[in-house]
Structure 1
Amino acid sequence: MRDSMRKSMGKLRRYVPWFLLILGIDGVSALLLWLADLEAFRVLAPLMLLMTVMLFAVIVFVLQRAEKKKEQALFDFLSSPDEWHEENLLKAAGTSDEAWIRMLGTVLRKRQDECAKAEAETADYEEYVEAWAHEIKTPLSLLTMVLDNQSGELPSPTAFKLDYIRNRIQEQISQMLYYARLKSANKDYLFEFVDLRECMEEVLEDYRMLLEEKQFLIRMEFGDSAPEVYTDRRGILFLLGQIVSNAVKYSSDNPELTVSFEKNTPRGDVLRIRDNGIGVKQCDFPYIFEKGFTGDAAEGRNRATGMGLYLSGKMADDLNIRLEVWSERGVGFEMAMIFPRVDRSDRKGTVPLQCGR
């Protein structure tokens, strides 16, 4: 309301000089009338002033209406610069502005076609990436089955190397797939109640051979409360996978991984995952979720891509999960995932929420 009044007053100020000019002309006319006939001046001077004010008000009203119509036509034209809106703008603006309106319409339509072409190409690329990522899962599943069935026949170093390769390929494919998913206009999140214990066990099973190779001591501290949260299962599996992957990459001697859950805290339901690895410098805290940030490459991060935590941060934003990080150099790293509280009774009788945007 206040902004609208301020905008209207700003428009009226543009007409003040013209009003003062008309008053000046009236003043000169009144002076001449006064010199010519005093009685006529007394009668006509107030009438002249009244007529001037009324005429000025009518002119301002007509001009304001025409300008508002022109602004609306311009807005419609900029929103959709087709030929129909261009003709409407020409009618509202008049022939004096025809040249620049025609030129603007040509440029905008050209840019619109280029944007539409780029969007179509991006959509095709996203479809290709997703299709490729799903297709490559078949040979990965076959490799996993072979490793599981013939792990006893393969030498331990060979089995570990093959599983490490499989795990790295799976991780990179997941990152690529979720990166394409995050950049997509439509995001098919399926919100439902998810058991975090089951999700954590599934992720730990995927990294089982790597965890066993480095002799990780794993502690699961979920307590008596049911570790259920209302979120997207695929998204939370991706987040947990990135955290466990970093714990494995940057582990120290006698590595440990502790998973704990706190329900109904003042801030929400909190899942904490803590390791005793090399940790992160405090000066790096503001940048760990930035794209491509890897920290000091000389400290065990020379193979890092800087995409894991970046994608985790973006995914957490989409799922309305707050991430909090604690770390001390040489002591460990902790990621706290804070979920908004949603009671099952509040969702009773509802179906999983399909989110697309």
Structure 2
Amino acid sequence: MKRKFQKILRYMPWLLLLFGVDAFFTVLLWIADLDAFYAMSALLLLAVLLMFSAICFVLVRLEEKREQVFFDFLANPDEYHEERLLGVLVPAQGEAVRLLGRCLRDKQNAYIGLLEQMNDYEEYVESWAHEAKTPLSLLTLLLDNRREELSETVSCKLDYIQNRLQESVNQMLFYARLKGSRKDYLFEHISVRGCVEEVLEDYKPLLEEKQFQIQADMTEQTVCSDRRGLRFLLRQVISNSIKYCGKEPELIFRFFKENDCHVLSIRDNGMGVRSCDLPYIFEKGFTGDSGEGRKKATGMGLYLAKEMAKELNLSLDANSEWGKGFEVRIVFPVVG
């Protein structure tokens, strides 16, 4: 009703002019013949009300029709819808509509072209990432089967190289998926403890090299999420803890229920983050000034973790005290 009244207000000057004309002729009738005026006053009032009601009804219907045709034109600005729009507007608006149609068609064609380029780029990145996994798999197989033939120093360096390459490939692949138009998440009930153990197994050589102490206070409680996406998120957090660990490093995992949600807390005892940097750690490319190690950082790990959390409908936040460690909390909504 409010919208209909707003449509009528557009024609208010013309309606007021019509009302003035009616009032003028009513006054003339009153001056010419007072008895006839009194006799016809009820009929005049009814005629005016009916006339204004009919005019308002027609005006609202015309405005609704113009509005619908205009929305159809915006949704599909081809020549057919352009001609339909021209048919319900005054000729003076024709040139503006034609200009708008040309601009919209140009923008639409440019959008389609960019969408095709993005799809090609996404397919290329995914293809490249899968191709890169082949030599990585061979490197992993070599390290597993020939480790006794390698010195401890060489073995640690190859483990580090293999892990960094694998992490970089995964980051590129998931970044392309996050920004792409196609999503292939599979939400199911999965064990958080199982996902954590799988990721820790992937990082086992680096964790052993750094002599990490792992503490895990987790039950077999399941959550509804995408296994591959959750593992990627955990990899970014654990990798961050490994990069910026201190002496006698520790990783503490706790899984508990809080305020009708399940929370996974991942805490380390590394250098932590300065309080002035903490609000920005999930921003793309942000590395802060917390030590020499961050000068070589890309600032993408925690950013991708945050983006993946959004995709999986999870909450991700961090707490830290400079020099006393860093904590990431992943909050899972409870699904009935």
Is the CA contact (8 Å cut-off) linking 2:216 and 2:252 kept in structure 1? yes
Partner of 1:351: none
**Contact 2:274 / 2:290 at 8 angstroms: preserved in 1?**
no
The alpha-carbon deviation at position 281 of structure 1 amounts to 2.0
State how far apart, in whole Å, the 1-side matches of 2:323 and 2:23 are. 87
State the partner residue of 1:197.
Answer: 193
TM-score by length of 2: 0.92
Distance 2:224 2:237 in 1: 20
Q: Would you say the 8 A contact 1:267–1:338 is kept in 2?
A: no
1:232 aligns with 2:230: no
The reply to whether residue 23 of structure 1 matches residue 16 of structure 2 is no
Q: CA deviation at 1:88?
A: 1.7
Q: State the shift of 1:186 in Å.
A: 2.1
Partner of 1:244: 238
Summarize deviations over 1:142-195 as a string: whole Å, max 9, x none. 011112222222222222222212211111111111111111222111122223
CA offsets per residue over residues 73-114 of structure 1, 9 Å max, x none? 000110111222222212222434222222221221111111
Alignment of 1:142-153 (within 5 A): 142-153=138-149
Assess if the C-alpha contact under 8 Å between 1:218 and 1:258 holds in 2.
yes
Partner of 2:252: 258
What SS does structure 2 have at the residue aligned with 1:151?
helix
SS in 2 for 1:27: helix
In structure 2, the residue matched to 1:273 is: 266
Give, in whole Å, the separation in 2 of the partners of 1:197 and 1:42. Answer: 91
Whether 1:120 aligns to 2:116 is yes
Query: Cα–Cα, structure 1 residues 237 and 128, in superposed 2: closer, same or farther, change >3 Å?
Result: same
Distance 1:47 1:342 in 2: 67
Partner of 1:68: 64
Which residue number corresponds to residue 348 of structure 1? none
Query: Cα offset for 1:278?
Result: 0.6
Determine which structure has greater relative contact order: mean sequence separation of CA pairs < 8 Å that are 6+ residues apart, divided by chain length.
1
| Post-superposition offset of 1:213 | 1.9
RMSD: 2.0
Q: Which residue of 1 aligns with 2:286?
A: 293
Cα distance in structure 2, aligned partners of 1:144 and 1:114: 44
- The structure 1 residue matched to 2:169, chosen from 166, 169, 173, is 173
How much does 1:24 deviate? 2.4
Instruction: Tell me whether 1:7 sits opposite 2:42 in the alignment.
Output: no
- Structure 1 residues 25 and 192: CA distance shift in structure 2, 3 A: closer
Partner SS for 1:337: strand
The aligned counterpart of 2:303 is: 310
Per-residue deviation at 1:72?
0.1
TM-score, scaled relative to structure 1: 0.87
2:153 alignment partner in structure 1:
157
Counterparts of 1:300 and 1:59 in 2: how far apart (Å)?
A: 76
3-state DSSP of counterpart to 2:220: coil
CA distance in 2, matches of 1:221, 1:29: 90
Aligned to 1:352: none
* Cα deviation digits, residues 258-306 of structure 1 (max 9, x gap): 12222x4443222221110011122323222111111116453111111
Per-residue CA deviation, residues 34-53 of structure 1 (Å, 9 max, x unaligned), is: 43333334345554444333
CA–CA distance in 2 between the matches of 1:14 and 1:193?
57
Aligned residues: 336
Equivalent residue for 1:78, pick from 56, 71, 74: 74
Q: Secondary structure at the match of 2:293?
A: coil
SS in 2 for 1:301: helix
The verdict on how the C-alpha distance between 1:48 and 1:342 changes in structure 2, with shifts beyond 3 A counting, is closer
Residue 36 of structure 1 corresponds to: 32
Q: Is the 8 A contact 1:15 1:60 kept in 2?
A: no
Are the counterparts in 1 of residues 273 and 290 from structure 2 also a CA contact under 8 Å? no
Change in 2 beyond 3 A, CA 1:28/1:227 = closer
Q: 1: CA distance between counterparts of 2:119 and 2:134? A: 24
